[in-house]
């Protein structure tokens, strides 16, 4: 087990190193007997975006609908996953900014469900930089986000696991989330391949990947589109979708 932990930590360090131009690094790894699929985005090179509504104002809902829209510009998704919690009409629950346009403001208060399990947080990104920030910290020190999505709970806050995560929890689910490197140059998107607890999921970001800030995106509806892993998870209609865009010829 110690050798496995060292191997995963070495992989995490390599994952945060700069990537070759136009590469999208998606891999399956095992950490502490749990399996995860993860995709690393180099913020200086890769075109990371959020997608919610199409040109008619209807939610995209599916990875295929985003790809259909991108095809008109000879582009496609290099990878994508659900990008934050949403209401039954697919509108985001919390703060949401797409291509500089704010759709919903920050929700600072506690509430029902995982979103309201404070502290929650915000993924804020633009060309060259991505950051996961705890919500109240974001309000105290606002960032200029070209794209942003609020979700919760935070998984890792400044190197500490969320205080309400229990090592002996019996709550298991497929979960997905995102962590960012301290320098903001890398964002790592992760989905568990088997049901995991919040504690195990958060520990993978911190102890497996060496990321000091990470955010939970969703549980029961978690899905991944990753052609390099031969994955296109199907299911019900999504709200926000986060993904990296690549030329059609590169996929």
Instruction: Judge residue 40's burial from the number of C-beta atoms within 10 Å of its C-beta, 0-12 exposed, 13-18 middle, 19 or more buried.
Output: buried
Whole-number mean pLDDT of the chain? 90
Summarize pLDDT for 54-77 with one digit per residue, the tens.
Answer: 999 999 999 999 999 999 999 999
Summarize pLDDT for 88-101 with one digit per residue, the tens.
Answer: 999 999 999 999 99
Which one, of 220, 251, 238, 248, lies nearest residue 51 by Cα?
238
The reply to whether 51 falls in a domain is no
- The pTM for the full model equals 0.90
Alpha helices, DSSP H only, in the chain?
2-15, 63-71, 135-140, 198-203
Bridge partners for 49 per DSSP: 243
Q: Prior bond to 172 cis, omega within 30?
A: no
Decide if pLDDT at 23 tops 50.
Answer: no
Local structure of 12: helix, strand or coil = helix
Q: What is the pLDDT of residue 24?
A: 79
> What residues make up the domain containing 133?
2-45+86-229
Summarize pLDDT for 181-213 with one digit per residue, the tens.
Answer: 999 999 999 999 999 999 999 999 999 999 999
Summarize pLDDT for 100-149 with one digit per residue, the tens.
Answer: 999 999 999 887 678 888 999 999 999 999 999 999 999 999 999 999 99
Q: Which residues contact 145 (CB under 8 A, 6 or more apart)?
A: 97, 122, 124, 125, 126
Mean pLDDT of 32-38: 98
Q: What is the pLDDT of residue 1?
A: 42
The reply to whether 110 falls in a domain is yes
Instruction: Judge residue 105's burial from the number of C-beta atoms within 10 Å of its C-beta, 0-12 exposed, 13-18 middle, 19 or more buried.
Output: exposed
Q: What is the pLDDT of residue 117?
A: 82
- CA distances 94 to 81, 175, 218, 242, Å, are 18, 19, 13, 15
Decide if pLDDT at 29 tops 60.
Answer: yes
Q: What is the pLDDT of residue 17?
A: 36
- Starting at the edge strand that comes first in sequence, how are the strands of the sheet with 154-157 ordered? 25-31, 34-42, 186-192, 176-180, 213-218, 154-157, 160-161
The reply to whether 62 falls in a domain is no
Summarize pLDDT for 162-177 with one digit per residue, the tens.
Answer: 999 999 999 999 999 9
Cα 155 off chain centre by = 11
Rg of the Cα atoms in the chain: 17
Domain count across the chain: 1
């Amino acid at each position: 087990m110690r050798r496995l932990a060292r191997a995963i930590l070495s992989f995490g360090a390599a994952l945060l190193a700069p990537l070759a131009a136009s590469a999208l690094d998606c891999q399956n790894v095992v950490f502490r007997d749990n399996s995860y699929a993860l995709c690393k985005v180099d913020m200086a090179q890769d075109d990371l975006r959020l997608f919610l509504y199409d040109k008619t104002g209807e939610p995209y809902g599916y990875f295929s609908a985003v790809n259909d829209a991108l095809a008109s510009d000879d582009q496609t998704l290099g990878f994508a996953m659900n990008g934050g919690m949403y209401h039954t009409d697919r509108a985001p629950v919390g703060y949401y900014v797409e291509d500089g346009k704010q759709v919903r403001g920050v929700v600072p208060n506690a509430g029902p469900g995982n979103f309201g399990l404070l502290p929650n947080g915000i993924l804020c990104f633009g060309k060259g930089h991505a950051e996961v920030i705890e919500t109240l910290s974001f309000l105290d020190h606002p960032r200029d986000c070209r794209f942003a999505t609020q979700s919760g709970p935070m998984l890792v806050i400044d190197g500490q696991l969320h205080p309400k995560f229990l090592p002996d929890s019996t709550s298991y689910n497929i979960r997905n989330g995102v962590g960012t490197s301290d320098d903001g140059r890398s964002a790592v998107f992760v989905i568990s391949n088997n049901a995991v607890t919040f504690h195990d999921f958060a520990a993978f970001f911190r102890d497996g990947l060496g990321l000091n800030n990470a955010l939970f995106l969703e549980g029961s509806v978690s899905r991944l589109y990753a052609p390099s892993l031969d994955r296109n998870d199907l299911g019900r209609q999504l709200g926000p979708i986060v993904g990296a865009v690549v030329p059609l010829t590169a996929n």
